[in-house]
Structure 1
Amino acid sequence: MNRPRRRSAKSKTEARTKLKKLLNDHETSVAVDTEYTVEEAVANWLAYGLAGKDPETVDLYTTLSHTHIVPVLGHRKLCELSVDDVDEWLASKARSLSTRTLQSMHSCLNRSVQRAMVRCKIDRNVVALCTVPTGQPGRPSKAITLAQAEAVLRAVEGDSMHAYVVVSLLTGARTEELRPLTWDHVDLDGRPHADPPVPPHISVWHSVRRSGDTKTRKSRRPLALPHRCVSALRRHRSAQEQQRKDAGAGWQDHNLVFASDVGTALDAANVRRAFRRAIAKADGINPAEWTPRELRHSFVSLLSDHDVPVEEIAKLVGHSSSETTERVYRKQIRPVIQTGALTMDRIFGT
Structure 2
Amino acid sequence: MTTPRLASSRRSRTRANGDGTVYQRKDGRWEAAGYVLAPGHTRKRVRVYGTTRKDAMAKLTEKIAASNRGLPVAAADSTVSAYLAYWLDGVAIHHLRENTYTRYAAAIRLHINPGLGARKLARLTTRDVRTLLDGLRTTCQCCAQQQDMKRQRCCAIGQCCEKRLSPLTVTYLHAVLKSALEHAVREDELPRNVARNVKTATPRPRRFQPFTTAEARQFLHRASKDQLHALYELALRTGLRKGELLGLHWEDLDLNGGTATIHRSLQRTRSQGLTVLNTKTLASERRIALPTECISSLKIHQERQQEERQAAGKGWTDSDLVFTTPQGKPLDPTNLTRRFRRLLHSSGLRTIRFHDLRHSTATLLLEQGVDLVVIKELLGHAHIGVTAGVYAHVRLRLQRQAIDTLGNALGPTGTPDDSPTAAVVR
Q: Same fold (TM over 0.5)?
A: yes
Aligned residue number for residue 87 of structure 1:
130
Which amino acid is 1:142 matched to?
A: Q
Task: Give the secondary-structure state (helix, strand or coil) at the position aligned to 2:347.
Answer: coil
TM-superposed deviation, 1:62:
1.6
Distance 1:207 1:70 in 2: 35
Shift, 1:255, TM fit: 1.4
Change in CA separation of 1:285 and 1:216 when aligned onto 2, cut-off 3 Å: same
What root-mean-square deviation, in Å, do the aligned CA atoms of Structure 1 and Structure 2 show?
A: 4.2
Deviation at 1:144, TM superposition (A): 0.5
1:313–1:75 distance in 2 versus 1, CA, 3 Å: closer
- Secondary structure of the corresponding residue to residue 92 of structure 2: coil
Q: Which residue of 2 aligns with 1:302?
A: 364
Match of 1:151 among 186, 194, 218: 218
Deviation string 1:198-248 (CA, Å, 9 cap, x unpaired) is 5xx23234243965587538x633413233x34432343344335545665
Equivalence map 1:101-140=2 (5 Å):
101-113=169-181, 127-134=194-201, 136-140=203-207
Out of 206-215 and 86-95, give the one that drifted further.
206-215
Alignment-derived partner of residue 261 in structure 2: 204
**Residue 91 (structure 2) pairs with residue 46 (structure 1):** no
Give the 3-state SS of the residue equivalent to 1:255 in structure 2: coil
1:1-350 correspondence runs (5 A): 36-52=78-94, 53-94=96-137, 97=165, 101-113=169-181, 127-134=194-201, 136-188=203-255, 190=256, 201-208=258-265, 211-212=278-279, 215-216=282-283, 220-227=286-293, 229-244=294-309, 251-260=316-325, 263-265=328-330, 269=334, 271-286=336-351, 290-306=352-368, 316-317=378-379, 327-329=389-391
TM-score by length of structure 1 reads 0.63
Residue 203 of structure 1 aligns with an amino acid whose one-letter code is A
Paired letter, 2:340: F
Secondary structure of the structure 2 residue equivalent to 1:216: helix
1:84 Cα deviation from its structure 2 partner: 1.1
Please state how far the C-alpha of 1:174 moved relative to its aligned partner: 3.9
Counterparts of 1:241 and 1:159, CA distance in 2: 17
> Counterparts of 2:166 and 2:125 in 1: how far apart (Å)?
24
- 154-163 or 313-322, which deviates more: 313-322
Q: Which has the higher contact order (CA 8 A, sep 6+)?
A: 1
Alpha-carbon separation, structure 1, partners of 2:234 and 2:118: 50
Find the residue that maps to 2:289 and give its secondary structure. strand
The 2-side partners of 1:266 and 1:215 are apart by 24
Greater C-alpha radius of gyration: 2
For residues 131 and 283 of structure 1, the distance between their equivalents in structure 2, rounded to whole angstroms, comes to: 47
* Alpha-carbon distance between aligned partners in 2 of 1:313 and 1:33, rounded to the nearest angstrom: 47
Q: Which runs of 5+ in 1 are unaligned?
A: 1-28, 191-197, 330-350
Tell me by how many angstroms 1:280 deviates. 2.9
How many residues are treated as equivalent by the alignment?
Answer: 286
Change (3 A) 1:113 1:167: closer
Quick one: which amino acid aligns to residue 276 of structure 1? Answer: R
**Superposition deviation, residue 315 in structure 1:** 6.0
Distance across 2 between alignment mates of 1:310 and 1:111: 31
Match of 2:29 in 1: none
Letter of the 1:294 counterpart: D
The percentage of counterpart residues that share the same residue type is: 30
2:250·2:320 contact (CA, 8 Å) conserved in 1?
Answer: yes
1:86, distance to aligned residue in structure 2 (A): 0.9
Give ranges in structure 2 of 5+ residues lacking alignment: 1-44, 48-73, 139-163, 266-275, 392-426
- 1:240-270 Cα offsets, whole Å, 9 max, x none, are 3355456655654331212456545557555
Q: Sort the Cα spacing of 1:310 and 1:39 in 2 relative to 1 into closer, same or farther, 3 A.
A: closer
Q: 1:313 to 1:86 in 2, by over 3 A?
A: closer
Q: List per-residue Cα deviations over 1:165-191 (Å, max 9, x = no partner).
A: 111112333445423322123344x3x
Q: CA separation of 1:90/1:153 partners in 2, compared to 1, >3 Å: closer, same or farther?
A: same
Query: Normalising by structure 2, what TM-score?
Result: 0.53
The answer as to whether partners of 2:263 and 2:278 remain within 8 angstroms in 1 is no
Q: What is the rounded CA distance, in whole Å, between the counterparts of 1:94 and 1:59 in structure 2? A: 22
Structure 1 counterpart of 2:268: none
Q: Provide the residue aligned with 1:11 in structure 2.
A: none
Shift of the 39–309 alpha-carbon distance from structure 1 to 2, 3 Å rule, reads: closer
- 1:105 partner amino acid: L
